[in-house]
Amino acid sequence: MSGDEDRTETDSSRDGGVRALIRGLSILRHVNSEGEAKPGEIAAALGIPRPTVYRLLQTLEEEGYIALSASNSRVRVTRLASSLGDGYATTSRLCQATGPLFAEYAPKIVWPCDLTIYENAAMVIQETTHGRSPLSIDRGMIGYRLPMLRSSAGRAYLSFCPQIEREIILQHISRLNDAEDSAFLEPVWLQSVLAETRANGYGSRDSIEFRPQTASLAVPVMVSGCVAACVSIIWIRSALTLNEATSRYLPTLQELAARIAGSATHS
């Protein structure tokens, strides 16, 4: 083989490697900016063939930069990837910690559990056991938005977040002017519920203001003294009273939240 042929082959190999690197970095940036994404969504967003996306995701996972969700087919960046720049995501750490713990606790709790993160005037489900719970009446709950004032997770988050953040969230909800929220913005009622939630250490929902056939409990996931997420359990109201559910499941739910916080902190 001549020197010119050698250079051509080397250049071709280099070009292919550079192209793969560029695509891999594009995928990493996309997943980081979205928080999580399915391979097909990545392929569509970036214009990269789906087989190539799967191959690059496999490489990124092998190197520890992305992780596949334990609850669905979405991928997220890991702490290793986030530590490379300013994109460090507490949400990613929490979700990575929660998946295995949900698998461990699902047989003990049986009723569906959710990990929710605050986002734009709602608590958004990031991880869930709905798919594996025999008592779930819902499927595909990842990404479902729970109202702040009418869900146990929203009440727990509002009760334990800093006052200035709480005021901003409530102002945002007021500006959205959702008719279903208006009664729950009444100051006396709202302050009473938040004070009771802080005193109890958990949020609850046991009336018809949201998803009337169900009730729920939620506890905050405290990371470095700040509420980073909430873990909740949901059940059919006709099957359990709030008092029965609290007595039976609250200690386990609090233990689960503490373990998620600990795993996220030390992962």
**Secondary structure (H, E, C), the chain:** CCHHHHHHHHHHHHHHHHHHHHHHHHHHHHHHHHCCECHHHHHHHHCCCHHHHHHHHHHHHHCCCEEECCCCCCEEECHHHHCCCCCCCHHHHHHHHHHHHHHHHHHHHCCCEEEEEECCCEEEEEEECCCCCCCCCCCCCCCCEEECCCCHHHHHHHHHCCHHHHHHHHHHHHHHCCHHHHHHHCHHHHHHHHHHHHHHCCEEECCCCCCCCEEEEEEEEEECCEEEEEEEEEEECCCCCHHHHHHHHHHHHHHHHHHHHHHHHHC
pTM of the model: 0.68
Report the Cα 201 to chain-centroid distance in Å.
21
- Give 83 or 170, the one with higher predicted confidence: 170
Residue position matching structure tokens 């503490």: 258
Q: What is the pLDDT of residues 173-193, one digit of tens each?
A: 999 999 999 999 999 999 999
* Cα–Cα distance, 178 to 106 (Å, whole number): 34
Q: Which two tokens stand for residue 59?
A: 């490489």
90-266, what's its fold? Beta-Lactamase (3.30.450)
Q: What is the pLDDT of residues 9-64, one digit of tens each?
A: 444 445 667 888 889 888 988 888 787 888 999 999 999 999 999 999 988 888 87
Domain segments of the chain as ranges:
3-82, 90-266
Q: What is the pLDDT of residues 98-122, one digit of tens each?
A: 889 998 998 898 999 999 999 888 9
3-82, what's its fold? Arc Repressor Mutant, subunit A (1.10.10)
* Cα–Cα distance, 157 to 33 (Å, whole number): 24
